Structure 1
Amino acid sequence: MSPQPPEKKYRLLFPAFGAIIFCILYLVAAWRYPGGSQTDAKSTGFSWKQNYWCNLLNETAINGQPNSSRTVAMIAMLVLAITLIYFWYFFPQQAGFNIISRRIIQVSGAAAMLTGLFMSGESHDMIINLASLFGLVAIGGTFAGLYKLKWKSLLWFGVLNLVLVGLNNYLYYNVELRYYLPVVQKITFFSFLLWISLISVKLYRSSQEQ
């Protein structure tokens, strides 16, 4: 792992702080959501069992009211994008990749997050698929980096996240089971951000030991 100057080591914790800020903004946006879900269009407020993250990004809530949560949700998306772009910028450096591999991971991670900013539009599914394609490359690079660093527990935690992503896709395309998707989506969100945060903390602690 590349050494960090003492005054710059704290920057390794930036993704963890970004993840915390995103979660706080997520809660605020959910609190401001007027209401309505795919299963009950007339419901009031945000349902953790029935609403999706993308519901917070739409201009109009499902119950037909102006979506007062949208601004906060958009800020949360921007925070998430900056957080993960930064993570995939510095992680390949810390993991000791060569310049070509480093650039592939950095560009793929940035492309995934910048593409994801447009998921609130009409081409939601296409945007999600495109962002997922770029993200798969960046996550694959993260796995490779964890393997190089011999951080097996974090590597297996990453595998768990991939299983959760696969479960999300399975539920999305299986109409009979889609009722469970909103809950699984939130678990996946939390698990992925926890994974990124733990990697950042591990990098910081490793830099402290050098």
Structure 2
Amino acid sequence: MLKKHAILISTGLSIIFIVIASLLYPGGSIHDVNSVGFDWTKNFMSNLFGSKALNGADNPARIWAVIGMVFHSLTYMLFFVNVSTKIPHLGSAKIVKYLGLSNLIFIVLIATPLHDLMLPITSTIFLAGLFYITVFVLKSRLTVFKFLCVICLLLYYFTIALYGFGYVELLAIMQKVTFLFSLVLILGLEYNTTKEDFLPKQQS
């Protein structure tokens, strides 16, 4: 039971702890250091991980955000490991599996002062894994997931572009949209696909 629903449990715990962190965040954003609380449209997730909030107050949200990030990292790792068992090509399956395992290490470090360095690393690892998965989904009979995988990739590319060009206002919103969409895709692929679904159409 626990193993079967490990990804769902990990996802749920991640969301719960991050929401708790957002409720405890004292205030301050890049737009207004005197703002009160955490604004999901203006604050970044990384604001929750500082020892001090942007308004200068001690940040009691930090420990809850770190715990949430640990479970978020665990969700990604479990997903990549599980989906790798469904991929028919052994070499690609191993790559997806090891990308998931390596991403666990780097994504946890996002919650540290190494955030600016870890973000492009974890994004690259996740996108590489998602790209591999998308290739096999596109070859399969999983019609709905073909669209969802492509949309998820585009959302990530768009969000990364916003980050690179410094469009912080829209980036704060897209960060959460991409985060939630990727979790929906992960849960969908985990609980609504089988190994047979990933076989190319002519082999199914």
TM-score of Structure 1 vs Structure 2, range by shorter chain: 0.7 to 0.9
Q: Aligned residue for 1:166?
A: 157
10-19 vs 159-168, which moves further = 10-19
Distance 1:127 1:33, change over 3 A: same
CA displacement 1:110-131 (0-9 Å, x = unmatched): 2123101112333322211111
Structure 2: tracts of 5 or more residues without a match: 198-204
Closer/same/farther in 2, CA of residues 12 and 154 from structure 1, 3 Å limit:
farther
Q: 2:134 aligns with which of 128, 139, 143?
A: 143
Whether 1:203 and 2:190 are equivalent positions in the alignment is: no
Report the number of matched residues: 196
Is residue 88–residue 109 contact of structure 1 (8 Å, CA) maintained in 2?
yes
| Other-structure match for 1:180 | 170
* Higher RCO (CA < 8 A, seq sep 6+): 1
Tell me the CA shift for residue 23 of structure 1.
Answer: 1.6
1:74 aligns with 2:66: yes
User: Kindly tell me: are residues 40 and 125 of structure 1, through their superposed partners in 2, closer, same or farther at Cα, counting changes over 3 Å?
Assistant: same
Aligned-residue CA RMSD in angstroms?
A: 2.1
User: In the TM superposition, what whole-angstrom CA distance separates every residue of 1:38-76 from its partner, at most 9, and x where no partner exists?
Assistant: 111111110111101111111111111111111111111
| Superposed CA offset, 1:134-179 (max 9, x none) | 222211222134235421211211111111112212222333x321
Unaligned runs of 5+ in 1: 1-7
Contact 1:112 1:132 in 2 (8 A): no
Query: Structure 1 length as normaliser, TM-score?
Result: 0.85
Amino acid aligned to 1:104: I
After TM superposition, the runs of 4+ consecutive aligned structure 1 residues lying more than 4 A away are: none
User: Hey, what does 2:28 align to over in structure 1?
Assistant: 36
Amino acid at match of 2:15: C
Please point out which of 104, 117, 124 is paired with 1:126. Answer: 117
Identity %: 23
